[in-house]
Structure 1
Amino acid sequence: VGADWDGVEIMPKGIETMDKLPKLTERLLVRGFSERDVKKILGNNFKRVFREVTG
């Protein structure tokens, strides 16, 4: 998930601005995603791969 909406013409309903991004976290948890999976979705997978690629 990117941290900005550059180039996005239609904003996702409910998270039209960056200050509402925490709602995504909340909704994932409400829908039954584990806290661990939510952390992965929100960036930990990117961090892990970036570390592996850059050493």
Structure 2
Amino acid sequence: MEERNITIPMEEYKKLLEASVRVSVFADYVNQSKYSIDREDCGRFLGFEVVKEED
């Protein structure tokens, strides 16, 4: 595969890098977990607030 350079704004690069690190850390957590993973933990690791379920 041919390697090409692209240019993106620094802020966008930082967001992509942060997302990549979050996914990597979360993957390690999931692979080491013996039990089901809480929805709140998923949101915390991936950087979003979980929508509360309505009864």
Please say whether Structure 1 and Structure 2 have the same fold, judged by a TM-score greater than 0.5. Answer: no
Q: Which has the higher contact order (CA 8 A, sep 6+)?
A: 2
With the length of structure 1 as denominator, give the TM-score of the two structures: 0.33
Q: Find the structure with the greater CA-based Rg.
A: 2
